[in-house]
Amino acid sequence: MKNLLDSQRDSFHSRIIILEGDGRSTVLDLLKVDHQMVVSNDLVHKGMITAINGLKNTDSEFWRYAVAYEKIPKPASETIPGKGKQVLWWFGSEPEAPKLEI
């Protein structure tokens, strides 16, 4: 039987991804280094991340990202965060990025 605390920790960690900008790579390129993702090709959602590491968007919860806690209104393939800038991906229904101490 799996420990409930371990289960909750696994669930949390699968919903939060923290990356660091290098000043050259897009947010999408940074994500590709260590994570598997699915990117939409349909006309309405072209370039939108629809799944990361097997966790797929639903009608009520989906993947979003922010750079230095600022949501960016562009696709991840068009955003290049500055060197050392934190990139935070989170999955859920909350529109604002969770505040994390690193």
pLDDT at site 38: 95
| Residues constituting the chain | 102
pLDDT tens digit sequence for 37-94:
999 988 888 888 999 999 999 999 999 999 999 998 888 999 999 999 999 999 999 9
pTM of full prediction above 0.85:
no
Give me 63's structure tokens.
């993947």
Backbone angles phi and psi of 87, in degrees to 5: -110, 125
